[in-house]
Structure 1
Amino acid sequence: MPTHGDCGLENLSDRIDTRRIVQQALADWRAQGRLASQDMEAVWQASLPTRADWRGWLDRALLILGAALICAGVIVFFAFNWAALHKFARFGLLAVALTALAGFAMSRPAVRAVARPMPGPDADTSAPPAIRSEAPPLACSSADLPGLAALGAAQILSGVLMAVIGQTYQTGADAWQLFAWWTVLAVPWALAARAAPHWWIVLVVGNVALLRYGSVNLGVGGMLELLFSADRAGGTMRILLAAAVAQLALWYALAARVSDFGFRGMTGPRLIGLLICGYAGWIGLLALVGTRLDELEPLMNLLLAGVALAALIAWYRWRDFDIVVLSFACLTAIGVIVTAVGRWLLAVTNDIGGFLLLTLIVVGLAAFAGSWLMRAWRSHVAGADATAEGTA
C-alpha cells in the first residue's frame, strides 16, 4: 500500500514556494550587485521548472482529473438508474467499487525514499546556497500516485455510500449527519494513504458538517440564516471560529509529532486559515451591519474578530511565515475596516462624496497591505538566504 506520500501535491506546493523564494533572492542579489549578469542567466535557468517537472505536474493533474471523473460517473450512475436498481444492487455495486479501490491500493508498492547523494569533488558548488538547497534531501518514487488516487476515490465513494443508505432507508437524518459520518469514514482512508491531500478531504467534509450542524442545531434555522441573521448567527459563528482555531492547533500538534501520517505541507493550514479569516470576517460584519454598537455583544464580536485576525497575522508573520494566509487575513481586515468606515459615513452624511472617500480608503488600505506583504516577503527571503549561507 502506498505510504508516506511526500511526492504528492503537498510536496509540489512546497517546491513552487521554494522556487519563488529562490527567484526573489536572485533578483535581490542582482540588484545589490552580488551576482554578475553573466552568472544570472545560468542560476536563473536552474530555478525554472524542467521538462521532468512539467511531465510530473501533468501526470498528477490527469490522475486527479481521472479519479474525480470516475467518482462523478459513479454518482451520476446511481442518480440515473436509482429506480431501476434494487437496494441490494446499490449496496453491492458500491461494496465492489470500494473493495476494488482498496485492493488496487494494496497492490501498489510503497514509496521508497532514496537519499540524495552529496555533491562530489567534481560537483558545481558555485551556485548560491539557496539554489543548492532547492533540491529536496529525499528523492521519492512516484509509483504510489495511482494508489493514493485510489484511496482518495474511496474517500469520496464512502460519502456516496452514506447518501445511498440515507436515501434507501429514508432514515430522516439531517445533512450534517451525512457529512459527519462521511468524515468518520474518510479518516481510515487518510491514515492508510499517509498523504496530506487525503486530510484536506477530511478537513473540507468535516467543516461542511460543522456548518450544517450550526445552521440546524445551534439556534439558527437554515444556512442562509446562519450567514445573514445578525441577531442569531453571532453565537454560532463564535463556536465555528473556536472550532477552526482548534483544528489549526491540532494540525500543528500532529505535524510536530506524527508528520509521517500525512500532516505535512502548508495547504492544510492554509485551508484552516481561510476558514478562520472567513469566520472572523463574518463575525466582524455581523457586528457592524444591522446592530447597535452601544450594545455589549456587537462590541465583543468586533473585538473577537480583531483579536483572531491579529493572532493569525502574528503567527504566520513571525512564527510560521506564509504569504497566502497573510494575504487572506489582510483582505478580511480590509473588508471589516471598510464596512466600519462605510457605516460611519452613512451615519454622518448622505452625500455622494462619502462613497468617493470610501473608494480612496479602499485603495489606500489595499496599497498599504500590498506594501506590507511585499516587505514581509522580502524580509522572509532575506532570513532564508542568511540561514542558507550560514549552513552552507
Structure 2
Amino acid sequence: MSLRQTLLELAARHQLDHRSTTELELMAGLRGQPGWLPSRLPQAVAVAGAGLCGLGLMFWIASNWDVLGRFGRIGVMQAAVAVGLLAASLIPRVRVVATLFSFLASGALFACIGQTYQTGADPWQLFALWTVLGLPLCLVLRSEVLWTPWLAVASTAIALWLKAEGGWSHYEVSFGLVAAAWVLSLLLPAVMLPPLRRYTGSGIWSLRLAVLLAMGYIALPASVLAFDQGMGPIMLAALLVGAATATLALYDLASTSIACLALLYVAVIAFAKILDAMGCDRFTIFIASGLLAIALVSFAASRLLAKHRAGGQA
C-alpha cells in the first residue's frame, strides 16, 4: 500500500481536519517538490532534446531532398551517426542522449539509403536491420532511454513482417506466421525481465512497454483468427498469455495487470466463439460475453488489489 493512501486512511480514522492532514503529509515528505525531481528533470529534458534533434534532422533532410543530392543526404546522416557515437564515447555526461541521437540518426540513414537507391527491400527489413544494429548500443549503454525506442522499432518490424508475409489486411493470415510473430513478440518482455537486468540494464518501464506491445500482438490477432480459423489460435493465445501472466506475477504488478487484461480478453473471445459454434444468436452472445467479462474483471481486480496491499508493489 502506498504511503499517501495509508496517511489518508489514518486521517479518516482519527477524523483529522484539513490542517492536521496537511501537517501529517508534510511530516511524511508528501508535500513540496519530490526529491528525485532535481536529478531527473535535466536528464528528461536532455532526452527530449535528443529525440527532437533526431526528428528535426530527418525532417530537414526530407525538406531539402533534391537540394542535397544523394551523396549530400547520405553524408549528412552518416556524419550525424558518427558525431553522436563520438560524443557518447568521449563525453560521459552526454553519453545517454548522444547515443539516443545516434540511434535515431541510424534509422534515418537506412531509410535514406533505401529511398535513394531503391533497393527493393520491404519496410520490415529496414526496421529489422535497425533493430539488429541498435541492439549492441542498447547492451553497451544499459539504459531505459535507449531500450524504449528500441522496443518500438522491434515491435514495428514484427508487425510489418507479419503484414508483408501473411496479407494481414485481407485477413488471410497463416496461423504459422502469426504463431511465429507471437513468439517473437514474447521475446521482447523476456529480455526485459529483472533476472537479465544485470546484462541489459533495462528498467521497469521498458518491461511494461514490452509487455503492452506483446499482449497487443497476441490478443488482437487471436480475436480475428478465432472466428476465421476456429479455436486453435485462440487456445494457443490463451496458453501463451497465461504463461506470461504467471511469469510476470513474480516481478511487477503493473505488467501482470496488462497481461491479465489480455488473458481475460482472450477468454471472453473464446467464450463468444463457443457460443457462436453452438448456434446462439448475436444478442445472446453479446449479453453472455458481457456478463462473463464483468465477472472475470471483478475477480482479477480483487486479486490484483489484494496482491498490491500484501506486497506493497507500485
TM-score of Structure 1 vs Structure 2, range by shorter chain? 0.7 to 0.9
Q: Which letter maps to 1:77?
A: W
What fraction of aligned residue pairs are identical, expressed as a percent? 27
Give yes or no for contact 1:154–1:189 (8 Å, CA) kept in 2.
no
Q: Deviations over 1:177-236 (max 9, x none)?
A: 21122123323432442313212332322232233223334xx13x524xx43xx34221
Which one of the candidate residues 376, 380, 386 is aligned to 2:307? 376
Give yes or no for contact 1:180–1:206 (8 Å, CA) kept in 2.
yes
Change (3 A) 1:326 1:49: farther
- The corresponding residue for 2:82 is 99
Answering whether residue 178 of structure 2 is matched by residue 237 of structure 1, we say yes
Change (3 A) 1:288 1:44: farther
- The corresponding residue for 1:324 is 254
Q: Which letter maps to 1:367?
A: S
- The corresponding residue for 1:45 is 28
Q: Deviations over 1:104-150 (max 9, x none)?
A: 333423xxxxxxxxxxxxxxxxxxxxxxxxxxxxxxxxxx3x43112
- The corresponding residue for 2:17 is none
Q: Deviations over 1:217-276 (max 9, x none)?
A: 4xx13x524xx43xx3422121122223344444448725x43xx423222322332233
Answering whether residue 248 of structure 2 is matched by residue 303 of structure 1, we say no
Q: Deviations over 1:319-362 (max 9, x none)?
A: 22x12222212221232233234345555443746544443333
Report the TM-score, using the length of structure 1 for normalisation: 0.67
Ranges in structure 1 where 5+ consecutive residues have no aligned partner: 1-19, 110-143, 293-297, 385-392
* Separation (CA, whole Å) in 2 of partners of 1:50 and 1:186: 36
- Higher relative contact order, structure no. (Cα contacts within 8 Å, ≥ 6 residues apart): 1
* Separation (CA, whole Å) in 2 of partners of 1:323 and 1:91: 45
Ranges in structure 2 where 5+ consecutive residues have no aligned partner: 15-19
Q: Which letter maps to 1:103?
A: L
SS in 1 for 2:49: helix
Moved more, 184-193 or 371-380: 184-193
Change (3 A) 1:255 1:272: same
- The corresponding residue for 1:340 is 270
Which one of the candidate residues 278, 303, 312 is aligned to 2:244? 312
The alpha carbon displacement at 1:82 in A equals: 0.7
The alpha carbon displacement at 1:156 in A equals: 0.5
* Separation (CA, whole Å) in 2 of partners of 1:324 and 1:253: 14
Q: Which letter maps to 1:330?
A: C
Moved more, 23-32 or 360-369: 23-32
Moved more, 154-163 or 75-84: 75-84
- The corresponding residue for 1:181 is 129
Which one of the candidate residues 267, 278, 281 is aligned to 2:219? 281
Give yes or no for contact 1:152–1:189 (8 Å, CA) kept in 2.
no
Answering whether residue 112 of structure 2 is matched by residue 164 of structure 1, we say yes
Give yes or no for contact 2:219–2:237 (8 Å, CA) kept in 1.
yes
Give yes or no for contact 1:247–1:272 (8 Å, CA) kept in 2.
yes
Change (3 A) 1:307 1:358: closer
Give yes or no for contact 1:316–1:326 (8 Å, CA) kept in 2.
yes
More helix by share: 2
Give yes or no for contact 2:234–2:270 (8 Å, CA) kept in 1.
no
- The corresponding residue for 2:46 is 63
Q: Which letter maps to 2:28?
A: Q
Change (3 A) 1:372 1:89: same
Report the TM-score, using the length of structure 2 for normalisation: 0.82
Change (3 A) 1:334 1:194: closer
Moved more, 326-335 or 77-86: 326-335
- The corresponding residue for 1:84 is 67
* Separation (CA, whole Å) in 1 of partners of 2:242 and 2:26: 38
SS in 2 for 1:171: coil
Q: Tell me the number of residue pairs that the alignment of Structure 1 and Structure 2 aligns.
A: 307
Which one of the candidate residues 56, 64, 73 is aligned to 1:73? 56
Answering whether residue 294 of structure 2 is matched by residue 363 of structure 1, we say yes
